[in-house]
């Protein structure tokens, strides 16, 4: 009976938004009135308190849309360079976005090609804006821009974990063998699975390296509250309690999904005290006229509160495979009808990154990849544990920019230099062989 009720959860959510709309209209009008320079009350503590209350109400009842990356330029060697976003590969559930730096051909030099695989876990790829920004000056950057499932018509078919792996393989095959793939959090499992399948098939487009950051490779190690919840409840509980149907008239009407608003509720509940304090602090900043602090709050929550729906089949297969069955570390994971054999990975270098205070993927969960990929040479492995950062700090923030990103960049550059040296050596051997034949 509860499962039947859940099928109407999305409709209830939409109904609440409609019912709140008139109140939002009144609140917006009051906000404009008490922000109007012609209103004497605007400059009083009472006026600022009313305006701040109205803004908080608007922000807490708003439906947040997908943010823009907004990376229109980068700085290379002290020179500002324009950046253009271009979609270079597209499927119903994902677009591959390339950040094309407008560099004159005379100034172009070979730089590492990086595929950032963004999490498909409720937030948009723009959550990695800071990650992209940090890599832009010295790398050719591509990112997976996953599509909100509520916007994909049923006629486009299903999308599950196997499809996710197929998408990653397709993008790597398009980009070529000199690609460095980076998986942030959730995609660590499908990315390492995709690489394993490519290596097992001797695919010449297997990437040069893979970097896994804060990912759930083996959630039996240092299990967090998230991991324990999945183990205790089991996949059927999530099917009964977390899956609902997209209502009409959305493009994806009648598609079964794990809705973004439900995922967001879980995120907020994990740190509810921090979020309440942050909103109260913003209220005080607005009343006191501290515009800079208020703007930082807006920037963070505009991103954090923008969520997308996941297809039910992808969500449930991920929960079952990664968090309940632990299929990857047990050597039992399958892609379609073929095994995901991590011992097949021999040529692709591996770097893992973890945060000391990560409360989503515990310390050791990502590092486990080194124990599973036993045939990667020792000189092609790197593990880094970043002190004093949580899950978000693994891929964003000041410590990421100062300590993590430079290490990843050095890892990629060194591999590219090694590959270039190998090509030169091979070319020299071919030339010597040709001279011997002529002689």
Lowest mean pLDDT among 5-14, 28-37, 164-173: 5-14
pLDDT of residue 91: 97
* Residue 225 confidence (pLDDT) above 90: no
Name which of 126, 120, 172 is nearest 313 in CA terms: 120
Of 350, 352, 342, 328, the residue nearest 197 (C-alpha): 342
pLDDT-based confidence at residue 1 (cuts at 50, 70, 90): very low
Q: Is the pLDDT of residue 65 over 90?
A: no
Place of tokens 């970043």: 386
Q: Kindly tell me if the per-residue pLDDT of 92 is higher than 90.
A: yes
Least confident span in 42-56, 197-211, 295-309: 295-309
Phi-psi region for residue 421, left (φ > 0), alpha (ψ -120 to 50) or beta?
Answer: alpha
What is the arithmetic mean of pLDDT over 404-415?
Answer: 97
Taking the C-alpha atoms of residue 6 and residue 259, their distance in angstroms, rounded to an integer, is 11
3-class secondary structure, 400: helix
Average confidence (pLDDT) over 411-429? 85
- pLDDT(439) > 60: no
Q: Give the torsion through C-alpha atoms of 264, 265, 268, 269, to 10 deg.
A: -150
Token match 């976003």: residue? 85
Percent of the chain predicted with pLDDT > 70: 95
Calculate mean pLDDT across residues 347-357.
97
Q: Is the pLDDT of residue 336 over 60?
A: yes
Cis peptide before 249 (omega within 30 of 0): yes
Closest residue by Cα to residue 308 from 144, 148, 171: 148
What's the half-sphere exposure (Cβ side, CA atoms, 13 Å) at 360? 20
Looking at residue 435, its pLDDT comes to: 65
Report the 10 Å Cβ neighbour count for 189. 29
Per-residue confidence (pLDDT) for residue 113, from 0 to 100: 97
- Note the pLDDT of residue 3: 46
pLDDT score recorded for residue 2: 43
H or E element in which residue 30 lies: helix 9-33
Average predicted confidence (pLDDT) for the chain: 89
- Range from 57-71, 158-172, 302-316, 369-383 carrying the lowest mean pLDDT: 57-71
- Residue partners of 387: CB distance under 8 A and separation at least 6: 356
Mean pLDDT of 333-361: 96
pLDDT of residue 438: 59
The model's pLDDT over 230-246, given as tens digits with 9 standing for 90+, comes to: 888 999 998 988 899 99
The region of weakest confidence among 3-17, 61-75, 79-93 is 3-17
* Res. 226: pLDDT tops 90: no
Say what the pLDDT of residue 56 is.
82
DSSP letters spanning 153-220: -GGG----HHHHHHHHHHHHHHH-TTEEEEEESTTHHHHHHHHHHHHHTT-TT--SEEEEES--S-TT
Phi, psi (deg, nearest 5) at residue 161: -65, -35
Q: How many CA atoms lie within 13 A of 16 on its CB side?
A: 10
Phi, psi of 287 (to 5 degrees): -65, -40
Q: Which two tokens stand for residue 173?
A: 């095959």
Residue 400 CA to residue 69 CA, distance in Å, equals 18
Q: Which tens digit of pLDDT belongs to each residue from 253-289?
A: 999 999 988 877 776 766 678 777 877 777 777 788 8
State percent of the chain over pLDDT 90: 61
Q: What is the pTM of this model?
A: 0.89
* pLDDT, position 168: 98
Task: Find the range with the poorest average confidence among 6-15, 137-146, 306-315, 405-414.
Answer: 6-15
What does the angle CA 265 – CA 305 – CA 262 come to, to the nearest 5 degrees? 25
């Amino acid at each position: 009976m509860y499962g039947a009720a859940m099928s109407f959860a999305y409709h209830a959510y939409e109904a609440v938004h409609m019912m709140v709309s008139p109140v939002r209209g009144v609140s917006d009008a009051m906000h404009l009135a008490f922000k109007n320079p012609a209103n004497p009350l605007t400059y009083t503590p009472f006026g600022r308190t009313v305006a701040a209350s109205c803004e908080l109400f608007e922000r807490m009842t708003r439906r947040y849309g997908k943010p823009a990356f907004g990376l229109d330029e980068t700085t290379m060697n002290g020179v500002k360079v324009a950046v253009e976003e271009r979609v270079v590969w597209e499927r119903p559930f994902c677009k591959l976005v390339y950040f094309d730096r407008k560099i004159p051909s005379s100034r172009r030099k070979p730089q590492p090609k990086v595929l950032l695989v963004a999490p498909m876990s409720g937030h948009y790829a723009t959550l990695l804006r800071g990650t992209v920004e940090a890599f832009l000056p010295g790398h050719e950057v591509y990112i997976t821009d996953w599509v909100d499932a509520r916007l994909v018509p049923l006629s486009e078919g299903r999308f599950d974990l196997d499809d996710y792996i197929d998408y990653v393989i397709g993008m790597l095959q398009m980009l070529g063998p000199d690609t460095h793939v980076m998986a942030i959090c959730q995609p660590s499992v499908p990315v390492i699975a995709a690489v394993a399948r490519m290596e097992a098939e001797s695919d010449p487009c297997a990437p040069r390296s893979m970097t896994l950051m804060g990912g759930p490779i083996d959630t039996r190690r240092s299990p967090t509250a998230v991991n324990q919840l999945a183990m205790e409840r089991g996949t059927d509980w999530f099917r009964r309690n977390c899956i609902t149907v997209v209502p009409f008239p959305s493009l994806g009407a009648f598609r079964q999904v794990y809705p973004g608003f439900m995922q967001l509720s879980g995120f907020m509940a994990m740190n509810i005290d921090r979020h309440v304090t942050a909103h109260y602090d913003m209220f005080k900043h607005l009343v006191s006229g501290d515009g800079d602090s208020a703007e930082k709050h807006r920037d963070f929550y505009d991103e954090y509160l923008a969520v997308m729906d996941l297809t039910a089949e992808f969500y449930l297969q991920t929960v079952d495979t990664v968090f309940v069955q632990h299929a990857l570390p047990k050597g039992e994971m399958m892609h379609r009808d073929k095994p995901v054999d991590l011992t097949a990975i021999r040529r692709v270098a591996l770097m893992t990154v973890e945060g000391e205070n990560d409360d989503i993927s515990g310390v050791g969960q990502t590092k486990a990849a080194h124990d599973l990929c036993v045939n990667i040479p020792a000189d092609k492995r790197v593990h880094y544990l970043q002190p004093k950062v949580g899950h978000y700090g693994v891929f964003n923030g000041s410590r990421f920019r100062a300590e993590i990103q430079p290490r990843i960049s050095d890892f990629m550059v060194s591999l590219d230099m090694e590959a270039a040296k190998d090509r030169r050596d091979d070319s020299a051997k071919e030339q010597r062989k040709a001279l011997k034949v002529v002689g």
